[in-house]
Structure 1
Amino acid sequence: MRRIILLATIGLITCSCDQTSTSHTGSFSLKPIPGSITYGGQPRMKLTKSPIGSQVPHRFTDQWGDDVYETYIIQPDRSLRLVDRKIIERRF
């Protein structure tokens, strides 16, 4: 429970000063976390056979053992844009 409160507090602090607007509608971009495909930059391999605008799902376990589900969209320059993240906490 303490971890949830700590993460919520950190999320509120970073939400107000770390996110950048990506469109005129006021939506914000998600920042990659360790384990994300784009953490540390775009992947070296270009997705040349996938159609532009298609979704790429990605699932991994974060450093706390929680399951993370991310969704990326392929951009016209073949880079990936992170558009959704769901974190499912493991209960012990």
Structure 2
Amino acid sequence: MPNPKVLAAIAIAFALSGCAPSTLEPIRGSITYNGQPRTKLTKSPIGSTFDHKFIGPGGDQYVETYRIAPDRSLELLSRYKVEIVDSR
């Protein structure tokens, strides 16, 4: 039977690996593609999120979610490609 301490260490390593921040790079069409915007979102609360819809490379439609950081910069949290279903 495996050592319980080894099993616990493996379980902790797997749990922590899921908590590691992922670095999502902006693509053409992202708000932060050419760096942070010049204007700051001064009226929006820190920590609030919003979605940005755009047509990306190749003509695909994307939705990105941003969060307003404490320094008023934007953090790109997620992106997904919108799948268009033809119902004809």
| TM norm. shorter chain > 0.5 | yes
Q: Secondary structure at the match of 1:64?
A: helix
State the shift of 1:74 in Å: 0.1
State the shift of 1:90 in Å: 5.1
Q: TM-score, normalised by structure 2?
A: 0.71
More displaced, 37-46 or 82-91?
A: 82-91
- Tell me the C-alpha RMSD between the 2 structures: 1.9
1:63 equivalent to 2:57? Answer yes
Q: Aligned partners of 2:39, 2:20: CA distance in 1, in Å? A: 31
Structure 1: unaligned runs, 5 residues or longer: 1-24
Please name the residue that 1:52 is paired with: 46
Q: TM-score, normalised by structure 1?
A: 0.68
After superposition, where does 1:19-58 map in structure 2 within 5 Å? 25-58=19-52
Please name the residue that 1:75 is paired with: 69
Q: Which residue among 70, 73, 79 is the counterpart of 1:85? A: 79
More displaced, 37-46 or 56-65?
A: 56-65
Structure 2: unaligned runs, 5 residues or longer: 1-18
Q: Structure 1 runs of 4+ off > 6 angstroms?
A: none
Percent sequence identity over aligned pairs: 54
Asked which structure has the greater CA Rg, the reply is: 2
State the shift of 1:65 in Å: 1.2
Q: Aligned partners of 1:79, 1:62: CA distance in 2, in Å? A: 22
- The total of aligned residue pairs comes to 69
